[in-house]
């Protein structure tokens, strides 16, 4: 019996460091997961805030443009015509190549 007891004790002693390592890895994994979740949460919040800023800025620019066009319709037509002419010149140069 003493041989079996010695073998069992030896096996238990061999397993103990592995069990401790497994517990330590689980704790480290848990901390890493918590850190990852925190980082992802911050990234999502930042993305949402950036999206809202872009939406607000675009809405503000559209409102200003609309106000300008209503206040100065002939200037807006001239600007649009000049932009169209510039695009036509650029495209015609590109087609020649």
8 domain-assigned: yes
Kindly state whether residue 14 falls inside one of the protein's structural domains. Answer: yes
**How much is the average pLDDT of 41-51?**
82
Whole-prediction pTM: 0.46
The count of structural domains within the chain is 1
- pLDDT, mean of residues 26-39: 79
Please state the three-class secondary structure of 6-31 as a single string.
HHHHHHHHHHHHHHHHHHHHHHHHHH
DSSP-derived 3-state class of residue 83: helix
Q: Above 60 in pLDDT, residue 18?
A: yes
Q: What percent of the chain lies above the pLDDT cut of 70? A: 94
- Residue 1 predicted with pLDDT over 70: no
Is position 80 within any domain? no
Parent domain of 39: 2-72
Residue 57: predicted pLDDT: 93
Domain assignment present for 93: no
Instruction: Tell me, yes or no, whether 57 lies in a domain.
Output: yes
């Amino acid at each position: 019996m003493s041989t079996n007891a010695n073998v069992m004790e030896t096996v238990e002693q061999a397993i103990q460091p592995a069990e401790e390592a497994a517990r330590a890895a689980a704790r480290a994994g848990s901390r890493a997961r918590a850190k990852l979740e925190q980082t992802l949460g911050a990234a999502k919040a930042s993305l949402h805030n950036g999206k809202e800023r872009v939406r607000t800025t675009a809405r503000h620019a559209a409102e200003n443009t609309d106000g300008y066009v209503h206040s100065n319709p002939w200037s807006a037509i001239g600007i649009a015509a000049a932009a169209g002419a510039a695009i036509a010149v650029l495209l015609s140069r590109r087609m020649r190549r």
